[in-house]
Structure 1
């Protein structure tokens, strides 16, 4: 029963992230910076052609590596005739949405592990739930979970 209670907030987090992403509309309608920059740099890494990244003056390198791995996974699952770069360039909104979903799921897993570990160590459900509420306490932090950027993806690290 306690595991079910501890999993409520992570599940809410996933649904909230999806809801927020849908209500904000497409990335190109005002949320392109920095999401598109990270998408293109992730694509460069995912191609394994030595393109590297062009945006290096920031803390987003883990985001780009994560993005490259997710782009490769998505592309392999889609099994397309287009090349990897063509598919990402033709469907950037799809890839950004999937990247956001993957990072939201990882964040939710992190929130669950946090709550579960705290409960195992302290035997306090209240303490576990209090710590799981941390991402929900800041509207700025919550809004960042709808975009593909460092604030979203490094939270689970």
Structure 2
């Protein structure tokens, strides 16, 4: 009996099985790598969208807070403010500082802090400076909206 005629088909089956297993392993590795890369890209996009949303929220809160600070600290002529109103404005300023700390644009944050710390000569000067600052905030907010990835 010729033993190689019996063994040859078995060796062929074993080699074919090993080839199939190796091919499947390579396909699985490629698939896992592709899935990992896609998951990382999705996570980056999600984090970027969340960061942009936080920046938008911070800027809008800062804009509202600046108006409240303006109203509390620079009253119109002939108008006095109660101590309760001033205390609420002080609390608003604390919240405003928390939102300023969340800004990624340090120049913008410094501009807001400078306006808050400035001693304005008059209501008109304060309003002019605030309007310029609000314009700067609005431009930054628009740029955040234009950079938003598709949702």
If the length of structure 2 is used for normalisation, what is the TM-score?
0.29
Structure number with greater CO (CA < 8 Å, separation at least 6) is 1
Look at both structures and tell me which one has the larger radius of gyration over its CA atoms: 2
- Structure number with the higher helix fraction is 2
If the length of structure 1 is used for normalisation, what is the TM-score?
0.28
